[in-house]
């Protein structure tokens, strides 16, 4: 089956199949489409990138350029995401830096977000931080939190503390974020210091809250809560669960429920 004069239908099908997890079907529609416009190419690139097929997405992008199709800002978001998912750091930087010169497109906050993701995944956190600082627009809370998350993954507490100062300006619950970051590294003295500080008390962020009903009784849990009457039993059980996960498979939990945490919650 071919779609000679219905690029709009092809584009819609590619987008639908990609979002439904049927990337092979999306590729079949793309391959059978004789007349492809920018939207068709962009949908295929974005779909492949969405499924972590970065190298395939970049091949489609190269083919698009070879066919004389000029990308728009949406296309380049998909391309930069593809670079991130495939570890193509140098190519991602080259594409980002060449946006204006090659295609006359000024980077928007979405493109900066992709660049920061590329650098963060590669562990180049200082360069990612510099990229945020050179943005022509004001970085939003999403940008800072993404970089903060990368600091947690790569264990860079020093940079995280510098980022927190910027998160404070966006009203993003800076002290709670920093407290959770130290907790993920098992640095409970720092956790206690931050949570007992005056700055933390003035932090207007609302902690996450969960409810669970057991035998008709509703239990409420707040993020970093140690006030539940059964907190010791809960912590011991979580520690047991994490140990079983570590022993039964290859997954190593990043959440820590060890003796230091038991000491922290009992203080």
How far apart, in whole angstroms, are the C-alpha atoms of residue 18 and residue 50?
Answer: 8
Spatial separation of the C-alpha atoms in residues 261 and 236, rounded to whole Å: 10
Residue 145, classed as helix, strand or coil, is helix
Distance, CA of 174 to CA of 120 (rounded, Å): 20
For a pLDDT cut of 70, what percent of the chain falls above it?
A: 73
Token pair listed for 122: 């590669």
Residue 110 has pLDDT above 70, yes or no: yes
Question: 1-137 in CATH: which number?
Answer: 1.25.40.10
Q: What is the pLDDT of residue 197?
A: 65
Structure confidence by residue, pLDDT tens digits, 63-89: 999 999 999 999 999 999 999 888 889
CB of 113 within 8 A of CB of 135?
no
DSSP β-bridge partners for residue 218: 213
Give the CA distances from residue 174 to residues 66, 113, 196, in Å, rounded to whole numbers and listed in that order. Answer: 47, 20, 14
> What residue segments make up the domains of the chain, in order of their start?
1-137, 152-205, 210-267
How many residues would you count in the chain? 267
Overall pTM > 0.85: no
Considering the chain, what percentage of its residues have pLDDT values greater than 90? Answer: 33
CA-CA distance, 142 to 109, in Å (whole number)? 10
pLDDT at 252: 54
What are the phi and psi torsion angles at 197 (to 5°)?
-75, 160
> Could you tell me if 38 and 7 are in contact, meaning their C-beta atoms sit under 8 angstroms apart?
no
- Summarize pLDDT for 218-251 with one digit per residue, the tens: 666 666 566 566 777 777 887 788 777 777 665 5
Rounded Cα distance, 69 and 50, in Å: 21
Model confidence band, residue 168 (pLDDT cutoffs 50, 70, 90): low
Six token digits for residue 135: 């943005």
Among the listed residues 95, 50, 47, the one whose alpha carbon sits nearest the alpha carbon of residue 73 = 95
Q: What angle do CA 188, 192, 196 make, to 5 degrees?
A: 170
């Amino acid at each position: 089956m071919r779609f000679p004069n219905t690029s709009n239908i092809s584009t819609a099908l590619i987008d639908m199949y990609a979002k439904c997890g049927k990337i092979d079907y999306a590729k079949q529609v793309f391959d059978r489409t004789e007349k492809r416009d920018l939207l068709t190419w962009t949908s295929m690139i974005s779909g492949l990138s969405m499924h972590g097929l970065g190298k395939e997405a970049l091949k489609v992008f190269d083919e698009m350029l070879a066919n004389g199709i000029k990308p728009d800002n949406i296309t380049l978001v998909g391309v930069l995401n593809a670079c991130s998912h495939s570890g193509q750091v140098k190519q991602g930087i080259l594409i980002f830096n060449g946006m204006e010169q090659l295609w006359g497109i000024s980077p928007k906050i979405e493109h900066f977000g992709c660049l920061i993701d590329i650098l963060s995944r590669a562990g180049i956190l200082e360069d990612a931080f510099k990229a945020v600082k050179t943005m022509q627009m004001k970085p939003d809370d999403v940008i800072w939190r993404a970089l903060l998350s990368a600091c947690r993954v790569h264990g860079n507490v020093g940079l995280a503390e510098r980022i927190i100062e910027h998160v404070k300006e966006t009203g993003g619950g800076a002290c709670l974020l920093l407290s959770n970051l130290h907790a993920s590294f098992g640095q409970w003295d720092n956790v206690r210091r931050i949570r007992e500080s005056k700055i933390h008390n003035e932090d207007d962020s609302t902690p996450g809250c969960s409810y669970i009903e057991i035998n008709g009784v509703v239990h409420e849990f707040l993020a970093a809560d140690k006030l539940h009457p059964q907190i010791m039993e809960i912590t011991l059980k979580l520690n047991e669960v994490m140990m079983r996960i570590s022993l039964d498979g290859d997954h190593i939990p990043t959440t820590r429920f060890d003796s230091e945490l038991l000491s922290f919650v009992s203080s």
